[in-house]
Chain A
Amino acid sequence: GQNIDQPTEMTATEGAIVQINCTYQTSGFNGLFWYQQHAGEAPTFLSYNVLDGLEEKGRFSSFLSRSKGYSYLLLKELQMKDSASYLCAVTDSNYQLIWGAGTKLIIKP
């Protein structure tokens, strides 16, 4: 079967750094997405990785290792507004998006 695993919840301190991990087992791989979802709102796009390595975009970076079926989202200089759920999603060989359940990130002052 197809599976995406992420921690259910993480807590971090304002100004700190946090890494949210995602592991996947899918039938084929055509890219991995990270989305941010604030409570009661729709998911918004953060990053897309299809090749191994680190993609940096401001305070957010996303890493991919296809051989390990592993990705992480790195958030630096955490702000209170970063409190949200972070969803990992993988595009399989049929270009269907397989979604993880999301990681709820709680930021404390």
Chain B
Amino acid sequence: DTAVSQTPKYLVTQMGNDKSIKCEQNLGHDTMYWYKQDSKKFLKIMFSYNNKELIINETVPNRFSPKSPDKAHLNLHINSLELGDSAVYFCASTQASASSGQMSFQETQYFGPGTRLLVL
């Protein structure tokens, strides 16, 4: 069974469109993340959710809106897509809460396979 899954795997769309990427984890983890990996391979955190509550919201455009219907799912909706949004988007999850103070292997993040978004 896939621990962290994302759909779709590939997404090609036109500028100005609205699209969503879905993420699900079956690990029973408390915290989920969205990362953007650009062409230079930097992984930049976009959002983090702990038990359905937003706990990190980096300076991303408000065209990006995360939605977490339950702690096993964290979806990413993008409005008015722009060329610069083209990247690979990774979902990840971890057992520990980011504010829990735990320092252990439980902080290991498990990544989904990524969604390759191309905006034309």
B101 to chain A minimum Cβ distance, whole angstroms, is: 8
Cβ contacts A30-68/B at 8 Å (1 or 0 each): 110100000001111100101000000000000000000
A contact residues around B44 at 8 Å (CB): 99
Question: How many interface residues does A have (CB within 8 Å)?
Answer: 21
From 47 to 104 in chain A, residues with beta carbon under 8 angstroms from any chain B beta carbon are: 48, 50, 85, 87, 89, 91, 94-97, 99, 101-102
The answer for the CA separation of A95 and B113 in the assembled complex, in Å, is 23
**Contact residues of B: prevailing secondary structure:** loop
Asked if B43 and A99 sit within 8 Å, CB to CB, the answer is yes
A31-B103, A42-B90, A50-B103 as given contacts; A96 in contact with B45, CB under 8 Å: yes
Q: What residue of chain A has the Cβ atom nearest to residue B105's Cβ?
A: A48
Contact of B108 among A33, A50, A96 (CB under 8 A): A33
B contact residues around A94 at 8 Å (CB): 98
Q: What residue of chain A has the Cβ atom nearest to residue B4's Cβ?
A: A42
Decide if B111 is an interface residue (CB 8 Å cutoff). Answer: yes
